[in-house]
Chain A
Amino acid sequence: MSDEYEHKIEAKSDYVSDASSVSTPDIDAVPESELPDQDLYHSHSWWTTYVFSQDAKYIGIQYALTAIGTGLLGLVLSWIMRIQLAFPGLGWLEPAAYYQFVTMHGMIMVIYLLTALFLGGFGNLLIPLMCGSRDMAFPYVNMLSYWAFVVAVLVLLASFFVPGGPTGAGWTLYPPQAITAGTPGSDMGIILMLISLILFVAGFTMGGLNYIITVLQLRARGMTLMRLPLTIWGIFTATVLAMLAFPALLVGCLMMTLDSLIGTSFFMPAMVSLGEKLSYDGGSPILFQHLFWFFGHPEVYIVALPAFGIVSDLLSVHARKTIFGYRMMVWAIVGIGALSFFVWAHHMYVSGMNPWFGFFFATTTLIIAVPTAIKVYNWILTLWKGNIQLSLPMLFSLAFIVTFLNGGLTGLFLGNVTVDVPLSDTYFVVAHFHMVMGIAPILVVFGAIYHWYPLITGRMMDETLGKIHFWITFVGSYAIYFPMHYQGFVGVPRRYFEIYDSPYIETSTLLLNQFITIAALIVGAAQLVFLYNLITSVRLGKKAEKNPWKANSLEWQTPQMPPEHGNWGKETPKVYRWAYDFSVPGAKEDYIPQNQPPSEIIGAKVEKT
């Protein structure tokens, strides 16, 4: 591989020195399209344009708004929980309600906010635009995907209103407790949760097929896989993971539904519940955990990989510098994705599975740290000798590096099976996963929204409000989760409605809890600033010029901004290079868009991509 690459550079420099000769059509040649131009559905009414839309851009926005709306509920639930933990004396929450809020908060944030936002939201918005296609491969199925998601959300919300309330089984839904009497919402609540997840998986599969096939089949002429922006690599790989991982969740949900409704015993052994012998016999609770984490661990990367991809692009554009080690970055994304299917039982070191599994899963888990570390190195090496603009997307990307690094390193604690024993099921775990798959990806989401907002609305978001939002969110959330690790060292278990100052706790955890809660309330309130900015900038924001960040990738090169139905006007773009030709020596501008023909940049010493 390396030889080929060196060779290409040489071949390239030949024609750079040729620059004085008149440009021939040859150097602009791009292979002809192998497929005819895509036929699109053209909407005729308000309903089919804005509601039952088949345009991926609209579907992306619909997905994003629904996900964010649901996420706000998750945020409010977390406030209520935090107030209970910090001020138990207020006594405004029953234990059952506390556990129901913990459960709904977790499930909403992981599935209905992050997964839906990254893949349904950014996937729909960016895949066709960045690949240079007119729309997704199957626009109608794409629309169904969104509406299945809406129904899943509605079923989830309905569980708040059934007798017994929503399930309080913890977001991991471990049986037997999920469907037995000691847990709140163990009748109707859990059933609605399982049905909602089943609907989500079905809906996601329809969307996921679209994302994969569109990336593989509908790229513009000249857009080779190794010219794709890393955003697309991240979303694409995450979707492949989701298509392989969600079936395990689906099966687990179906089996538990049967256990609960018709008394099968997939996960239920012979047991007693609150003094009463149940009729279950012979099932295995650990089997559910294997199914759940076979989905659940890839799920972490389903959220993280799109964030990795997006942040790579934001760093490159706003540091005006080529992403460092592009090919390494692509292989790291693919490698992490593949490895993520071999590490699931590191969530189960102390689950009661055969303890000898620990050796295998600790080893695979620590191996996955290597490609992940490479990504971090390449991000910071992209900053090195860059020309760093401290725009909002760059600030959020920098904050991502710090929080992701922190959360990734604490993963080395929990992945190393011995260290996991004292720390598992404590607040160390809570702090770790919030830092690594909560805060870090959410910071990327914010960066991405500030970055692509002008593409969607044609206007910029307000910079001052954005900076207020950034500093409170970044510093505040770090102040929440960094000290929380130390509660875990003390040994404070997670999922405790009330911790008390137990004899074993030498220093007050209540004090730390109060500090964390106050920080959480402030960070939460800062999101109102963001929402205000998001909504008012649609009308009041400064009008954006075309390609306001001077980026190279195709989404900024559409004839109109915001792009119209079909994206590209008469002809889809031709692609001549990757998306990272920033600050090329000899070029007039410090960026060269992917669709700018070589004949227009003669003299630029660009490396062949």
Chain B
Amino acid sequence: MPITVAIVFLLITVGSVVFHFWSPWWWTEVASNWGGMDDTIILTFWITGFVFVVICLFVSYCVWKFAYKKERRAEYKPEDKKLEARLTWITTLGVAALLAPGLVVWNSYVTVPENAYKVEVFAYQWGWKYRLPGNDGILGKTDIRYINDENPFGLILEDPNGKDDRLVDGDELHLLLDRPVKFELRTIDVLHNFYVPQFRGKMDMVPGIITYYWITPTRTGDFEVLCAEYCGSGHYAMRGRVIVDKEQDYKKWEAKQITFEKMLAKNKNNNNLQLAKSSK
């Protein structure tokens, strides 16, 4: 019996390692500059995996080696200060080895480069919209009280910076390869989270404040956007697309996005038409 138990524990340990190296479920190929996150995970895997295997093997060995015998007595040794101190120090070192590189990567994650291109990601129950800053590179100010059918982003009309903002039609965002981009995250209702698995980055969107994170896309491709913070019944269906383009394709797409000014003008024309019709 003890040998069976020891073997099962051994098999669970070995099985975990085998699954880790040979199962097909692994992360997607990274498409942003956050390969550092992957590296930190790999480092964490080696350190914690080593501890896991050693301790499980130790348990299996004890179960087999020190199985109950009526005539035998266990060792009587309540404490071993030296051993306890040594283990404490080794653990502290191991933990520091995990933490230090992690904090270095975090530091760059929360420090947005100054030349980053700003894009507003606009979330609502349950979908995505995007706003680009236009030629001045500045996103106009917004307020949810201004939101209506003609001003879906709630841009403040008096803010001149908003006039040339490009409002993306549909839930598909294009990004330029190798250009750092800062996502300014905005929601008008509940919490959401703008998540593209291949980019690794993530941040909740909170009504009332603008949150952010930044990435640099490092390969072209077509990626799915998922909402990663529970936001009600439609949470699972809140998806979108991000496409990373080379310069030429990107310019083509950008030119197609209508500016706020043009959109207002178009609406006005529509209104004028309607007014004209009703006055007849």
Contacts and interface: CB of A to CB of B under 8 A. Distances in A.
Interface stretch (B128-136, B193-201, B244-252, B254-262): B193-201
A386 B40 contact: no
A506 B28 contact: yes
A350 B25 contact: no
30 contacts: A99-B233, A174-B191, A174-B230, A183-B232, A183-B233, A272-B124, A274-B189, A277-B147, A285-B207, A320-B68, A327-B79, A358-B110, A359-B107, A362-B106, A373-B91, A374-B88, A384-B75, A389-B68, A390-B1, A390-B68, A398-B59, A409-B48, A418-B36, A483-B23, A489-B27, A496-B236, A506-B24, A583-B74, A590-B74, A605-B76
B224 A504 contact: yes
B78 A607 contact: yes
B117 interface: no
Contact of A380 (B40, B55, B105, B234): B55
Interface string B69-103: 10011111111110110011001100100110111
Contacts of B204: 350-352
Interface stretch (A197-205, A363-371, A533-541, A594-602): A363-371
Contacts of A390: 1-2, 5, 63, 67-68
Interface in A260-289: 269-274, 277, 283-286
Contact of A270 (B16, B34, B145, B233): B145
B88 A182 contact: no
Contacts of B102: 362, 416-419
Nearest to B73: A583
A95 interface: yes
A603 to B, nearest CB: 14
Contact of A350 (B19, B103, B203): B203
Contacts of A386: 62, 66, 74-75
A77 B238 CA distance: 25
Contact of B73 (A325, A370, A387, A416): A387
Nearest to A328: B84
A490 B25 contact: yes
Contacts of A320: 68, 73-74
Nearest to A605: B76
Contacts of A323: 78
A243 B9 CA distance: 38
Number of chain B interface residues as a range: 35 or more
B270 to A, nearest CB: 21
Interface string A501-538: 01111110100100000000000000000000000000
Interface string B210-235: 01000000000011101111111111
A46 B159 CA distance: 77
Given A383-B66, A491-B27, A507-B24, 11 more contacts: A168-B233, A176-B191, A177-B190, A183-B233, A284-B208, A369-B95, A390-B63, A422-B197, A478-B12, A491-B195, A493-B227
Most B Cβ at <10 Å: residue of A183, A376, A389, A410: A183
Nearest to A584: B76
A493 B95 contact: no
A486 B201 CA distance: 18
B72 A370 contact: no
A383 B145 CA distance: 66
Contacts of A607: 78
Contacts of B224: 502-504
Interface stretch (A22-30, A34-42, A400-408): A400-408
Most B Cβ at <10 Å: residue of A170, A385, A395, A585: A385
Interface string A479-494: 0001100110111010
Interface string B174-203: 000000000001001111010101101111
Interface in B37-59: 37-38, 40-41, 44, 48, 51-52, 55-56, 58-59
B206 interface: yes
Contacts of A462: none
A345 to B, nearest CB: 13
A544 interface: no
Contacts of B198: 504
Nearest to B101: A418
Contacts of B211: 352
B206 A352 contact: yes
Most A Cβ at <10 Å: residue of B62, B102, B126: B102
Q: Nearest 5 A-B pairs (CB), nearest first?
A: A491-B197, A269-B208, A182-B232, A385-B75, A177-B190
A406 B191 contact: no
B141 to A, nearest CB: 15
A322 interface: yes
Interface residues of A, number: 115
Contact of A486 (B23, B62, B147): B23
Given A176-B189, A182-B233, A350-B203, A512 B2 contact: no
Interface string A565-592: 0000000000000001011110000100
A491 B28 CA distance: 8
Interface in A72-104: 95-96, 99
Contacts of A389: 68
A370 B95 contact: yes
Given A412-B48, A419-B102, A370 B92 contact: yes
Given A320-B74, A350-B204, A388-B2, A503 B222 contact: yes
A425 B193 contact: yes
A363 B99 contact: yes
B224 to A, nearest CB: 5
Q: Which applies to chain B's interface (DSSP): helix, strand, loop or mixed?
A: mixed
Contacts of B8: 471, 475
Given A416-B40, A504-B28, A497 B236 contact: yes
Contact of B56 (A285, A370, A405, A497): A405
A417 B109 CA distance: 10
Contact of A377 (B87, B191, B207, B231): B87
B235 A416 contact: no
A140 interface: no
Nearest to A177: B190
A182 B78 contact: no
A325 B79 contact: yes
A183 B233 CA distance: 6
Contacts of A398: 5, 9, 59, 63
A547 B19 CA distance: 44
A493 B66 CA distance: 44
B144 interface: yes
A212 interface: no
B173 interface: no
B139 interface: no
Contacts of B78: 322-326, 580, 607
A174 B198 CA distance: 27
Interface in A301-326: 319-326
A370 B84 CA distance: 12
Contacts of A184: 232-233
A95 B62 contact: no
A271 B99 contact: no
B276 interface: no
Nearest to A604: B76
Nearest to B51: A409
Nearest to A316: B74
B91 A422 contact: no
Contact of A388 (B25, B63, B228): B63
A355 interface: yes
A47 B225 CA distance: 60
B33 interface: no
B121 interface: no
A273 B232 CA distance: 11
Contact of A366 (B24, B75, B95): B95
A388 B66 contact: yes
Contacts of A512: 25
